[in-house]
Amino acid sequence: MQHNQQILLDNRPVGEATTSNFKLVETPVAALEDQQVLVRHHYLSLDPYMRGRMNESKSYAQPQPLGEVMIGGTVGEVVESRHPKFKVGDKVVGMGGWQLFSVVDGNAAGMLRKVDTTHVPLSHYLGAVGMPGVTAWYGLVKIIAPKAGETVTVSAASGAVGSALGALAKARGCRVVGIAGGKDKCDYVVKELGFDACIDYKEHKDYLSLSKALREACPNGIDGHFENVGGMVLDAVMLRTNAFARIAVCGMIAGYDGAPLPMTNPALILVNRMKIEGFIVSEHMEVWPEALSELGNLVGSGKLRPRETVANGLAAAPEAFLGLLKGKNFGKQLVKLI
């Protein structure tokens, strides 16, 4: 009998999350029933949304239950199958969680999807050609809806969502300006991802200083913005927005520890007749095929060159996750499990 390692949410954070919130356990892998598939995970995705799930407070998704395997996207290989749609050796993407193996109902809609690794590396299906990439696509195409020549900004620009957003916006003829933390990340955003400019928010002590830098990088103002961070960054962007600007809100990582994030100048929403819309990409599964097709072409053609930070081994996941929340990762944060 094979043994599975799992990381459970052991207790809820008070303020900042810590490694003591998690617990590593070992369990036997259950025998498959008819129509089930056993997947050996190769990579686990770590994403900021997981921090919100650790809280018990009301949010857009149910809290992560205590004593259960942490939720998370995975890619891997079918090692046993009792379902005609999946065969041993198939490469698949799913929501296997923080564990080495998962048993999946092959009939459950959207739980497991076969992927082609001919032109796209398997790990990229957790980033640029996965949920983060589709998140960028939906926010840009369905909410910001830019026209060629408009200026689009994005926070956390070097991350999995931000990098995809930049490539998608450049493909639509936009001027694209990123906001990221640190010179290395900003250099990558401009030199490798092809953004027109990138601002290091760590060089600015407040939103007014950051907004001044945005004015220089966006001489024609900001028409569309994709928000991953909130707080000072969003305040700075709002000062530079044009009339009828559109802001897609995907994340508020600055507030994931539970502290409220006040907005400094909410009157600008009215003054500039802004459209501000939050969204959850899993509620828009109808766009995934179109989005994944475009994203796959961007990666396959080299127009999108995603970066990855990889931690090794399941036991490294909690520390890597906490580092992600503090911006220590560069690009997509993964855990290699095999």
pLDDT for res 181? 93
Q: At what angle do helices 288-300 and 160-171 cross, to 10 degrees?
A: 90
pLDDT for res 177? 98
115, 116, 122, 124: CA torsion to nearest 10: -80
Q: Is 186 helix (H, G, I), strand (E, B) or coil?
A: helix
The span from the CA of 250 to the CA of 136, in Å, is 9
What stretch(es) of the chain map to CATH 3.90.180.10?
3-127+306-336
Number of CB atoms found within 10 A of residue 297's CB: 15
User: Hey, what CATH class is 131-282 in?
Assistant: alpha beta
Percent helix, strand and coil across the chain, each rounded to 5?
35, 25, 40
The span from the CA of 124 to the CA of 147, in Å, is 28
3-127+306-336 placed in CATH 3.90.180.10: yes
149 CB burial (10 A radius; 0-12, 13-18, 19+): exposed
pLDDT for res 263? 92
pLDDT for res 165? 96
Residue ranges of the chain with per-residue pLDDT less than 70: 1, 58-60, 256-258
pTM: 0.88
Q: pLDDT tens digit string along 25-63?
A: 999 998 999 999 999 999 999 998 899 899 887 666 789
List CB contacts of 338: < 8 A, sequence separation 6 or more. 40, 41, 42, 76
pLDDT for res 73? 95
pLDDT for res 56? 86
Tokens of 158: 């070097």
Look at residues 169, 272, 265, 306 and name the one whose alpha carbon lies nearest to residue 226: 169
What stretch(es) of the chain map to CATH 3.40.50.720?
131-282
pLDDT for res 1? 66
pLDDT for res 258? 67
Residue identified by tokens 């992600």 is: 324
